Structure 1
Amino acid sequence: MDTKRIVITGGPGSGKTSLIKFLEQKKHFVLHEVSREVTLEAQRLGIDQLFLTNPILFSKKLLEERLKQFHEAENFTAPILFYDRGMPDVTAYMDFLNIHYPVNFSNTCEKYRYDSIFILPPWEKIYEQDNERYESFEQAEKIFHFLGESYKGYGYKVHNVPFGTLKERADFILDFLKHTP
């Protein structure tokens, strides 16, 4: 059985990570976001915000970790595997900052393909800044736009997940997947 690779993405403060955790609690297989680990690793080395200090290095590490996650799908026998962000998120953030990145970033995004992409819009009601989330809500809205454009640029159809409870959002995604070959 081929496992379907499903990306759930969205700007900061969209409820994406909560939705991923909800799906996991409901016994779905998920691979969690790796950017916080990359950030915390850099902080242990004395770099407060690697993404702001050296965005290319941060993004390279992030892309490498997401590519590892992509290959981890080969170890799953479940019909669906959810990813908390995908590789095109990396180039979307670089585009948001207007930073030129190595061509291999785009090549990797084009070569390794996901089956479906779901994007959550930023939600002001639940938005909070923290140690790893330094963007303002206005920036989160712009990032959301860049994420959608990035995935579309790689040829994906992006499905917008409406606001709602975690169950409503999960049901929206699961119902869509149930009716899509």
Structure 2
Amino acid sequence: MDDIDRFIILTGGPGSGKSTLIAELAKSGYAHASEAGRAIIQAQAAIGGKALPWTDPTAFAELMLSWDMRSYEQARELKGPVFFDRGIPDVLGYLTLSNVPTPTHVQTAAQLFRYGRVFIAPPWREIFEQDNERKQNFDEAQRTYDAMTDTYQRLGYVLVELPKASVADRCAFVLETAGLKANNSQPT
């Protein structure tokens, strides 16, 4: 199984259950890469940095791109499937959503660093919550979902929409759809 086939993205709007699902997949024994955006916001806030989505979206996007490229390279060292909490194409979607011109190098990265499968979490009002890092409202979550859908499709990915179901059911859906087993990182 080459890297592209082993690399699986979970994307969608904020507050749609992606990170919770990644944590559940990790409990089932699967490797994962953490979301760049939340970690960058936390780090920038801790140091008084300006690379925040509401302060300098371009700098924020550059940090996300660097984080996601590093995560991709680190995942190459792992065995078996790796689940990504967002991926490099999300940077393109973020820039589009923010009405910021996309630099050529970001587009190039999205073409070079490919993933095998993309699951997209639809907006889900019943579980959506704001917090210190997630300042978007539900309408922006919907617009983010739309931007990610358009971006991934434009890059040639086929999206598999996650059901609005319990975490356990979503986990089972992802594993079954990807041809994987719970508590076993080997493909079926």
TM-score range (shorter-chain normalised) is over 0.9
State the Cα distance separating 1:28 from its structure 2 match: 1.1
In the TM superposition, what are the counterparts of 1:135-146 in structure 2 within 5 Å? Answer: 135-146=136-147
The residue aligned with 2:64 is 62
Counterpart residue identity of residue 115, structure 1: G
Q: For each residue in 1:87-144, what CA deviation from the matched residue of structure 2 results, as whole angstroms up to 9, or x when unmatched?
A: 1111101111211121111110011100000000111101110111011101101110
Decide whether the 8 Å contact of 2:57 with 2:98 is kept in 1: no
CA distance, structure 2, for counterparts of residue 37 and residue 97 of structure 1: 19
TM-score by length of 2: 0.90
Alignment of 1:19-58 (within 5 A): 19-47=21-49, 50-58=52-60
Whole-angstrom CA distance in 2 between matches of 1:69 and 1:130: 25
Match of 1:148 in 2: 149
* 1:120-139 equivalent positions in 2, closer than 5 A: 120-139=121-140
State the partner residue of 2:14.
12
- 1:108 matched to 2:113: no
Structure 1 runs not aligned, ≥5 long: none
The whole-number CA distance in structure 2 between the counterparts of 1:165 and 1:44 is 34
Length-normalised TM-score, structure 1: 0.94
SS of match in other structure, 1:52? coil
| Residue in 1 that maps onto 2:163 | 162
Structure 1: distance between partners of 2:50 and 2:76: 35
Moved over 6 A (4+): none
Counterpart Cα distance in 2 of 1:74 and 1:15: 26
Alpha-carbon RMSD: 1.7
Match of 2:74 among 48, 64, 72: 72
Q: Distance in 2 between the 1:173 and 1:51 partners?
A: 30
**2:165 maps to amino acid:** G
Contact kept, 8 Å, 1:119 with 1:161, in 2: the verdict is yes
After superposition, the C-alpha distances for 1:26-66 in whole angstroms (9 at most, x for unaligned) are 11111111222211221123247711111111100110110
Distance 1:35 1:63 in 2: 10
The 3-state SS of whatever aligns with 1:92 is helix
Structure 2 unaligned blocks of 5 or more: 181-186
- Corresponding letter in the other structure for 1:104: H
In 2, Cα distance between equivalents of 1:14 and 1:176: 19
Contact 1:73 1:81 in 2 (8 A): yes
- Kept in 2, the 8 Å contact 1:2–1:77? The answer is no
Question: 2: distance between equivalents of 1:12 and 1:5?
Answer: 21
